[in-house]
Amino acid sequence: MNLVFELLVATGMVALTVGIHLVGIALLLTVLRHHRARSQPTGSVVRDGIGIIGAAIGLFVLHAIEIWSYAALYSVTRALPDFESALYFSTSTYATIGYGDIVLDRSWRIIGAIEGANGVILLGWSTAFFVAVVGRIRFVEGEIGTFR
């Protein structure tokens, strides 16, 4: 594959996954704000726990969609022999585990490397978001307080 084409495909995938992440984070914020608005004004361990669990699951779903998007690319283009291999490779690459037991052909390896960098950035973004969500739960008189 031509390097310029490979870089264009990788750029498209980065744009797609960043867009997915942006929309997903915005939706999670909306859901968390709605959850907070419907809750009682005083803090509740259960309510705050549900908010935290919801945020964690939502972030996991976002990353799964992004990983599956790369896996679909590898599968549709036949960069890897089957979808299971593509999903395994994409997951380990996105999370920068990179076992090395499955590798892309030379003509696709730049996209694999960029997926790893993309995953690091999106995982970092999610970590910052999650820390902010958990940080909004404050202690009030010895009990977990309100989510702001």
According to the model, what pLDDT value does residue 140 have? Answer: 42
Per-residue pLDDT of the chain (148 residues; tens, 9 = 90+): 689 999 999 999 999 999 999 999 999 999 888 877 776 655 577 778 888 899 999 999 999 999 999 999 999 999 999 999 999 999 999 998 988 888 898 889 999 999 999 999 999 999 999 999 888 775 444 454 554 4
Q: Which domain holds residue 114?
A: 3-20+28-147
In angstroms, the first-to-last Cα distance of the chain is 50
User: How many independent structural domains does the chain possess?
Assistant: 1
CA dihedral 21, 61, 75, 80 (to 10 degrees): 100
According to the model, what pLDDT value does residue 98 have? Answer: 82
CA–CA dist 45, 140 (Å, integer) = 12
According to the model, what pLDDT value does residue 107 have? Answer: 86
Which CB contacts under 8 angstroms, 24+ apart, belong to 25-32?
Answer: 25/62, 25/125, 25/126, 25/129, 27/58, 28/54, 28/55, 28/58, 28/59, 28/129, 31/58, 32/133, 32/147
> Cβ distance 148 to 45 under 8 Å?
no
According to the model, what pLDDT value does residue 18 have? Answer: 98
According to the model, what pLDDT value does residue 89 have? Answer: 95
Domain containing residue 92: CATH number = 1.10.287
Please list the residues that pair with 136 across neighbouring strands: none
CA–CA dist 133, 148 (Å, integer) = 9
CA–CA dist 27, 58 (Å, integer) = 9
